[in-house]
Structure 1
Amino acid sequence: MPPSNPALTARLSDAYQHHQPWLQGWFRRRLGDAAQAEDLSQDAFIRLLRAPRLPVAEEVRALLTTIAKGLLIDHYRHDALEKAYLAELAQQPEALSPSPEQRAEALQYLIAIDRLLDGLSLKARTAFLLSRIDKLTHAEIAAQLQVSASRVRQYLAQALLQLYQLDDAFGTPT
């Protein structure tokens, strides 16, 4: 939502004009892809627009740098996730290969799950992964994390609640 305050609008416009070329170049040097750099620089300014307050002019570049680093980390994580997913798909027989639309949807869902897991505490994330991937019992997870079994149940409940909300957002069954 664009700001309704003319002074704020002018400050945002000024920040964009002064810092967008620099930020786009910053991304281009790191990614080697002008189109991707342009997309990420736009994403950075959208996040700046959504910030609780617009920093003073002297702080804009520092905040944009912080935002850009986070976007770059997300970009690399998503890229690695996509490569792993595509490598796994390449191992499947051609007859079982999903359509391009199904692949894109699955990739979006995997990225959302990655964000969900990243948002959990380390112990909650570890408990969830040990439960779902390694099929450990609550007692085994508790021993490994050095917490009580009831705490493991709380961690799993946190993760599952987030996962159910994610499923609702994607319209997929759990």
Structure 2
Amino acid sequence: MLQSHEADPLHLIYCGHHNWLVQWLQRKLGNVFDAADLAQDTYIRVATGKTMPAPEEARPYLVQIAKRLMIDLYRRRTLEEAYLSALACLPEPFTPSHEDTLIVLQTLSAIDRALDSLPEKVREAFFMSQFDGMTYSAIASALGIAVATVRKHMLSATRACFLAMQADGRRMPMEATTR
């Protein structure tokens, strides 16, 4: 028997909190478009998650997910800005073509999607290592896991990045990867 929308916990959470979440995100991000995107991503995480929050815990649960998604968004944008800034500093003869720049940005996007599909602790361990420069033991301490688990997480994340690049069918331009 099909469940009515009124009795569906996800539907109740969405209807009861979606507008509030978009407004909360808009205040944090200063942009209604990013807020709407992150709100949708938040509900996708809720829908695909293993647990559904109790009605009285819905907002704190949504905020926790949304904060993590904001961190991911800022990291992606920081990475893209750093790449574009590095390109701007190159002398004209060494500047990659617009096509090569687009390939690199599309590859970064494919890697981002691959990392986004990983479990949260795997993604966090990877980001802490690659963007924050943390050692495996510092990551283990911060996440409350063993160093061996951090190694496994790093292997999983690196493998996901590699497979994303292969599946994307693109190769990073030689000029962009050799600098």
Q: Give the TM-score normalised by structure 2.
A: 0.62
1:144-165: CA deviation from partner (whole Å, max 9, x where unpaired): xxxxxxx9xx88x937645443
Q: What residue identity is the alignment partner of 2:76?
A: H
Match of 1:105 in 2: 106
- For the pair 1:42 / 2:55, whether they are aligned, the reply is no
1:74-96: CA deviation from partner (whole Å, max 9, x where unpaired): 11111111110111122342763
Match of 2:144 in 1: none
Q: For the aligned residues, what is the CA RMSD?
A: 3.5
Q: How many residues are treated as equivalent by the alignment?
A: 142
Larger-Rg structure? 1
Match of 1:54 in 2: 52
Q: Is the 8 A contact 1:85 1:107 kept in 2?
A: no
- Correspondence 1:94-133 to 2 at 5 A: 96-99=96-99, 101-109=102-110, 111=112, 119=123, 125=129
Higher relative contact order (CA 8 A, sep 6+): 2
The unaligned stretches of length 5 or more in structure 1 are: 130-150
Q: What residue identity is the alignment partner of 1:108?
A: S
By how many angstroms is 1:101 displaced? 3.8
Q: Is the 8 A contact 2:38 2:69 kept in 1?
A: yes
Match of 1:25 in 2: 23
Q: Structure 1 residues 120, 167: closer, same or farther in 2, change over 3 A?
A: farther
Match of 1:72 in 2: 70
Match of 2:155 in 1: 158
Q: What residue identity is the alignment partner of 1:96?
A: P
